[in-house]
Amino acid sequence: MAKELGMKPKSLIKNIPAPKQQWKAPVKVWVRELYEEKFGKVLKPEKTGPAQTGK
């Protein structure tokens, strides 16, 4: 998701909230919110593997 938004790893690391920044969302949540705002949808995790295919 971050790649589709044009973010680089350094920008993600810089946005990790410090302990005193309780108001800041975790990076994972923040990126998902930005993605939803821009594209209007949220990607669902792909279902792969034998346990999830029902075989």
Residue-range domain boundaries for the chain: 1-14+26-37
Q: What is the pLDDT of residue 41?
A: 72
Q: Are 35 and 1 in contact (CB under 8 A)?
A: yes
Once rounded to an integer, what is the mean pLDDT over residues 39-45? 70
> pLDDT band at 45, cuts 50/70/90?
low
Determine phi and psi for 36, rounding to 5 degrees.
Answer: -65, -40
Which one-letter DSSP state was computed for residue 1?
-
**DSSP readout, 2-48?**
TTTTT--HHHHHHTSPPTT-TTSPPHHHHHHHHHHHHHS--PPPP--
